[in-house]
Amino acid sequence: MSDSYLDAHPDENGFFGKFGGSFIPPMLEVPFAEITKAYNDIKNSPEFIEELKYVRKHFQGRPTPISFAKNLTEHCGGAKIYLKREDLNHTGAHKLNHCMAEVILAKHLGKKKVIAETGAGQHGVALATAAAYFGLECEIHMGEVDVEKEHPNVVRMKILGAKVVTVTDGLKTLKEAVDSAFGAYIQEYEEAIYCIGSVVGPHPFPMMVRDFQSVVGFEAKEQFKEHENKLPDSVVACVGGGSNAMGIFAGFIDDKEVGLVGVEPLGRGSKLGDHAASLTYGEEGVMHGFNSIMLKDKDGEPAPVYSIGSGIDYPSVGPEQAYLNETGRTTVGLCDDKEAVNAFYALSQLEGIIPALESAHAVAYAMKIAKTMDKDQTILVNLSGRGDKDIDFVVDNHPIPNAKF
Ligand SMILES: *Cc1c(COP(=O)(O)O)cnc(C)c1O
């Protein structure tokens, strides 16, 4: 067996230690086994790798650069802060890294259609983009509450040619959208494939999405050496499901001297319902088809969660994040709404980069630890997305500071 961490994890049943696996209705076992087999067949095929490389370079805009945040570094007065610029991907975030690959896989399997759920609409837009590029149909399930809240993303998906199914069951948000999308997939699995939006869900998705996102870390490792001729002391990423974090961690996971920090949203505070810090406050449990650490209500059901970053308010976390946290290879940082908004404005005004509110959590955490580190130390932040989607909400609720940081 290879001694590379990525080759050795997960095991053949999709477990990272006790986390992960596949807890799905019997009807889904055959289609999920088909996806696993197809992925294992093509992941090392030169054709697949070439096609993915081609679209990443000529459509998506990869490699994305690493920028030195000189002014932010001086402002914090400590370790040097660098940014891996996933905000420069087409569609403005890291999500296209796995969506393009998932749709190539769909094409390889001869599927005509991709199905997924979306919460805030970011995954829906990325998947609709990939489906348009490759000429597949796209059907996105979205809770009615989110359809109203995230109107611009609904319009984007429709312009891109996707069908948006409004889900009116239960609380009409992400959980119901997942159930609805799974229901549609069971009806149509011969023609369609399910495309998950993070390193979550049943095996093989946590592995597959991690592998597709690992390009971020592999690029970053080479690029960082160009800047500093050494590895970073710390790599910091925000964690919702964990795909942008696993993507950048993948490049450094075998380099034990590099600290890997996943930043969870502390929202309004530590009371259940006010945050989405699953690893910090959660317990072991199965939801959405995999075993991980999750936030539960008193009945053991997924608890309500909250964060100002709508892409990171998820009551569980990818199984590999849970495993790496348990083994101590990664650690968890926390960032509340206020710190995230402060970092949003600081990065905008000091560096000319408006970050997504999700990514602002990682920036805020880096600003906090930079102060405690020496000037010759370095932090690499995964800037998972750009903040255009958040500007109206931020300025309406948190006035633009007139202090020039
Ligand atoms: C969706 C999203 C996230 C959260 O998803 P992960 O799977 O945890 O990476 C973070 N940042 C941005 C910009 C997103 O769109």
Active site residue 117: yes
pTM, full prediction: 0.96
Q: How far is the CA of 14 from the centre of ligand 1 (A)?
A: 22
Could you give the CA distance from residue 219 to residue 66 in angstroms, rounded to a whole number? 9
Number of other residues whose CB lies within 10 A of the CB of residue 402: 5
| pLDDT score recorded for residue 3 | 77
For the chain, residues with pLDDT lower than 70 are 1-2, 403-405
Closest CA to 248 of 1, 148, 239: 239
Could you give the CA distance from residue 107 to residue 116 in angstroms, rounded to a whole number? 16
Q: What is the secondary structure of 129-171 as a DSSP string?
A: HHHHHHT-EEEEEEEHHHHHHTHHHHHHHHHTT-EEEEE-STT
Amino acid at 21: G
Go through 81-118 and write b for each residue having 16 or more CB atoms within 10 A of its CB, e for each that does not: bbbbbbbbbbbbbbbbbbbbbbbbbbbbbebebbbbbb
Q: What is the secondary structure of 304-338 as a DSSP string?
A: P---SSTTS--SS--HHHHHHHHHTSEEEEEEEHH
Catalytic residue among 117, 176, 320, 358: 117
14 lines ligand 1 (CB under 6 A): no
Q: Which residue is closest in CA terms to ligand 1's atom 13?
A: 385
| pLDDT score recorded for residue 150 | 85
Q: Which atom of ligand 1 is nearest to the CA of 385?
A: 13
Q: Which residue is closest in CA terms to ligand 1's atom 7?
A: 243
| pLDDT score recorded for residue 170 | 86
Domain at 61-92+214-397, CATH from 3.40.50.1100, 3.90.1300.10, 3.40.50.1010, 3.10.450.50: 3.40.50.1100
Q: What pLDDT digit, counting tens, does each position of 183-196 carry?
A: 999 999 999 999 99
Q: Are 324 and 260 in contact (CB under 8 A)?
A: yes
- Judge if 28-57+95-205 and 61-92+214-397 fold alike in CATH terms: yes
Q: Domain 28-57+95-205 has what CATH class?
A: alpha beta
Ligand 1 mutation pick, 95, 97, 353, max ligand atoms within 8 A of CB: 95
Q: What pLDDT digit, counting tens, does each position of 89-118 carry?
A: 999 999 999 999 999 999 999 999 999 999
| pLDDT score recorded for residue 2 | 62
| pLDDT score recorded for residue 176 | 87
Q: Domain ranges for the chain, please list them.
A: 28-57+95-205, 61-92+214-397
